Amino acid sequence: MFSDKKAFQESFKKRLEQSYSISFQDSTRAQQFVTLSNMVREHISSEWIETNERYRKGNKQVYYLSIEFLLGRLLGQNLINLGLYETLETWLADLNIPLDELEEIEPDAALGNGGLGRLAACFLDSLASLNLPGHGCGIRYKHGLFEQKMVDGFQMELPENWLRYGYVWEVRKSDLSVDVPFWGSVDVIERKEGTKFRHVDAEYVRAVPHDMPVVGYGGETINTLRLWSAEMSTMTPMHDVLKYKRETEAISEFLYPDDSNDEGKILRLKQQYFLVSASIRSILRRFLSNGGELKELHKHVAIHINDTHPVLAIPELMRLLLDEYQLSWDEAWHITERTFAYTNHTTLSEALERWPIRIFKPLLPRIFMIVEEINERFCKRLWEEYPGEWGRIEKMAIVANGEVRMAHLAIAGSHSINGVAWLHTEILKNREMNDFYQFQPEKFNNKTNGITHRRWLLKANPELTSLLTETIGDGFQKDAAELSKLAPYADDSAFLQKLWDVKTKRKEILAKRIFEQNGVKVDPSSIFDVQVKRLHAYKRQLLNVLHILALYNKVKADSSYQMAPRTFIFGAKASPGYFYAKRIIKLIHSVADLVNNDPATKGLITVVFMENYRVSLAEDIIPAADISEQISTASKEASGTGNMKFMMNGAITMGTLDGANVEILEQTGPDNIFIFGLKAEEVMSYDKEGGYRSMDYYHHDPLIRRTLDQLVDGTLDDKGLFGVIYDSLLGENDQYFVLKDFESYRKTQEEAGRIYAEDQARWRKMMVNNISGSGIFSSDRTIKEYAKEIWNI
C-alpha cells in the first residue's frame, strides 16, 4: 500500500470517496486525516499480529501499569517510526495535501497530567523501538486532561473531548471484556481443605479493552497499549438502571486533573481497582492460554507499577492466586513479590497515597482482607528483625491509624523499588524510605528518567535532525548515544552558524504561532527564555515571574541598564482546585500586561503565556528555546523530563541542583549550564532545623522589597488579587525558598544574558555541548536499564 506512489494515491482517493461518499476534490482535511490514519493502521496490522505470535512463543512479557499515558498525537510519530514520513509527505504534496495540516487535525490523546504520564508514553515508544515485549495497561478516559482557556488572565477549564469524532488508532475488543466486582461482602466458607473466601453480592462493572498499536522504530515490533473502558455488566441485576449506568460509566469518564497531589476521592479508588483488576486478569488469561504454569508466573511475566496508583495489582494477584487458583498463601506471595516492581515519582508528602479504611473496606472487601493479611505478616517479619521496636514497626506498617498506606504496600509486595534520578533515589534511601532501605537495601535502585528522542528530536525538530544527519550521519536516529559524535563540532564555526540558523528558524515558527494565538509580536533575535510544565508551588514559576518584575523595575529605575532583549514564555495548567497555582497564572498575565505595554521596556522584555499547554504545543515550543527554566526548590522535583527535552534541542538549562539537573550538569560540565540556588541538603536542613527567615530578605534587599510591594500596592491590580502570594512569601515564611534563592537566580540570569549578548561564540558552543551530551537521556537508555536490572528480559 505504501510501496508505490501511484497505487497509494489511487487507493487513498478511492477509500476517501467510499468512506465519505464525497468526491476527492471536495473532501476535508479531517476526512483526509482519518483516511490516511486508517490506511496506516491497516498497514501495520500484519506486523502487529506477527509481534503477538512471536510473544506467544514464551519469552518474558512486561506489563507497565499506569493510571496515565500522555501520548499526544500519533500519526506523524507512527510514520516516522515506520520510515514513511518523507515519502508520504511528497506523495501527498502531489495531491495538494500538506501532511502537516493533516497532523494538525489529530486531537492529542491527553490521558495524563504531566511528567508521570508522559514518561509512560516515552517508555512505550522505547520498549517497542528496542524490540522488547513490553505493553501498557491503562484507562480509556472518555475525557482526557481539561482544555485550558484563559479569560482575562484567569484559567477556565473546558471538558476535553478527544473521542468526539471517533478515534482512529484504537481497536475495541468486546470479546475480551472482564467484569470487575465492587461492594458486597465476603463469605467465609470453612472446608476440610481449609477456609475459602467468596466475594458475594458484588456490583459488577464491565471493563472493555481498547487496544492501540505501539509502533517501534523500524516497524519490526508493534506492541500493545490496552486501555480499559467501563460499561454496564450483564452480571448485575438492574434495580435502578439509570443510576447503575451512570455510576458505572463514571469510572472511565474523566482523568483526575491533579498532578502530584492525592485527591482521596472514592471514584479515584474505583478507577485504580478497575484498572488493575481488568489488567491482571487479562495478563493471567493470556499467560495461561499460552500454556503457562502459574507457579512459574514470575519467570514469564514482569508487572511494573507506575507510582502507587496501580498498587492494588498486588493484592489483586494474590486474590486470584488464592481464591481462583487455590494456591497457598506462601506460594502466592512468593510469585507475587517476584513479579512486581515499583517506581516512586515523588517525595512530596501531599502526593503520598493513603486511603481511609472507612472508604477502602466497603468498596473492596476481599482486597481489604488480603491487604490486612499482608500487613500482619509484614509486621511479624519486622518484629523478628526489630524485636521490641514498636515505634519503628508502627511507622512502617501498611495498615495503621485507620489508613492503608499505598507506598508501604508497594514496597512490601515488590522485588524492586526505584527512584527516577540519582538525587531522588538517594533521598528515598536516606530519608523518606530509610526504614525500608535499612530493612531490605537490595530492593532499592535508581533508574534515571529519559525521553524518547524520536518524538523530542526527530519528530519535533526536523530542521535540527537534518543538520545533525548531514554532520554526524544518521546513526543517532536509531541510537541516541551517537549524539556524542557532535562534540568535536563545538569549535567548528561553519557548523555553529548552521546550528544558529536552525534555532532562529524554530524561533520564527514559534513567534508566528505566538502572534496568531496571543496577538503579541515577539522578536526571534531576543532570548527565548522558557518555563513550560504543570503549575506547582515547588516548581517555582513564582521565582521566574518575580525576577521578570524585578528586571522591569531595574530598567525603569535606570534607563542605561544594559540587557539583551528577552522573551519570557510560559505554559502551564493548574489543577482546577489548586487556588494558589491559579493565582500565579493570573500574576504572570498581570506582569505581562504591565511590561509588554510600557514603552520603557517595549522590545526589551516581553512576557507570553501560551494557553492550553500540551504535548503537541510542547513540540513547537521546546525546539525554539534558548534557556530552559528548571528552577524547582532543590530536593522537591524527583527528576523532571522537560529539562532533558530542552537540552537535546540545544537550550541551556537555568536550574537548581535538583532532580535530573544534577546529571545534566554531570554531562555538560559546569561551563555549559547555569546552576544557582540552595542545594538539596541545605533545603532539607532548613526544613528540619528552621533558621530561614524570609522577612530578612524583604528587609535587607531593596529590589526584593520594591518588587514584593508591587504585588499589593495596586501596580498590578487594585483588587488585592495577589495578597495570598505576598502572604505566602512573608506571612508564611516562604516554604519554597523563593526569596532565599532570588538573588542567586537574578545574578545567574544576568550572567546568561551577558554571554548571549556579548559572547555568541561561547553560547553556540554551549548549545553543541548540550546536544552532544544529551544522548544518555534517551529513554532507550532508561528502558535498557529497567530491562536488564529489574525485569530480567
Residues forming the active site? 345, 533-534, 539, 641, 645
| Pairwise CA distance, residues 468 & 477, whole Å | 9
Position closest to ligand GPV via CB: 115
Least distance from ligand GPV to the Cβ atom of residue 72, Å? 15
Least distance from ligand GPV to the Cβ atom of residue 775, Å? 19
Whether the CB-CB separation of 148 and 77 falls below 8 Å is answered with no
Q: Quick one: 591 or 638, whose CB is closer to ligand GPV? A: 638
Least distance from ligand GPV to the Cβ atom of residue 568, Å? 22
Q: Quick one: 209 or 640, whose CB is closer to ligand GPV? A: 640
Residue 243 grid cell: 443510576
Whether the CB-CB separation of 355 and 403 falls below 8 Å is answered with yes
Burial class (CB in 10 A: 0-12, 13-18, 19+), 152: exposed
Q: Quick one: 114 or 184, whose CB is closer to ligand GPV? A: 114
Least distance from ligand GPV to the Cβ atom of residue 640, Å? 5
Q: Quick one: 137 or 351, whose CB is closer to ligand GPV? A: 351
| Pairwise CA distance, residues 506 & 514, whole Å | 12
Please give, one letter per residue, the 3-state secondary structure of 437-448: HHHCHHHEEECC
Least distance from ligand GPV to the Cβ atom of residue 659, Å? 5
Least distance from ligand GPV to the Cβ atom of residue 289, Å? 34
Of the candidates 173, 225, 181, the one whose C-alpha atom is nearest the C-alpha of residue 68 is 225
| Pairwise CA distance, residues 187 & 363, whole Å | 15
| Pairwise CA distance, residues 646 & 113, whole Å | 19
Q: Quick one: 257 or 659, whose CB is closer to ligand GPV? A: 659
Q: Quick one: 637 or 734, whose CB is closer to ligand GPV? A: 637
Q: Quick one: 548 or 665, whose CB is closer to ligand GPV? A: 665
| Pairwise CA distance, residues 454 & 458, whole Å | 5
Least distance from ligand GPV to the Cβ atom of residue 342, Å? 12
Least distance from ligand GPV to the Cβ atom of residue 122, Å? 9
Burial class (CB in 10 A: 0-12, 13-18, 19+), 593: middle
| Pairwise CA distance, residues 636 & 619, whole Å | 26
Beta-carbon contacts of 790 under 8 Å, excluding residues fewer than 6 positions away, are: 302, 304, 341, 416, 418, 445, 447
To 10 degrees, what angle do helices 462-472 and 493-518 make? 170
Cα 100-616-531 angle, rounded to 5 deg: 135
Please give, one letter per residue, the 3-state secondary structure of 7-52: HHHHHHHHHHHHHHCCCHHHCCHHHHHHHHHHHHHHHHHHHHHHHH
Residue 519 grid cell: 496577538
Of the candidates 308, 301, 309, the one whose C-alpha atom is nearest the C-alpha of residue 139 is 309
Interaction site with ligand GPV (CB under 6 A): 113-116, 119, 259-260, 307, 345-346, 351, 420, 449, 637-641, 659
Q: Quick one: 449 or 628, whose CB is closer to ligand GPV? A: 449
Dihedrals phi, psi of 48, to nearest 5 degrees: -65, -45
Least distance from ligand GPV to the Cβ atom of residue 506, Å? 24
Q: Quick one: 61 or 641, whose CB is closer to ligand GPV? A: 641
Of the candidates 335, 278, 299, the one whose C-alpha atom is nearest the C-alpha of residue 62 is 299
Whether the CB-CB separation of 307 and 259 falls below 8 Å is answered with no
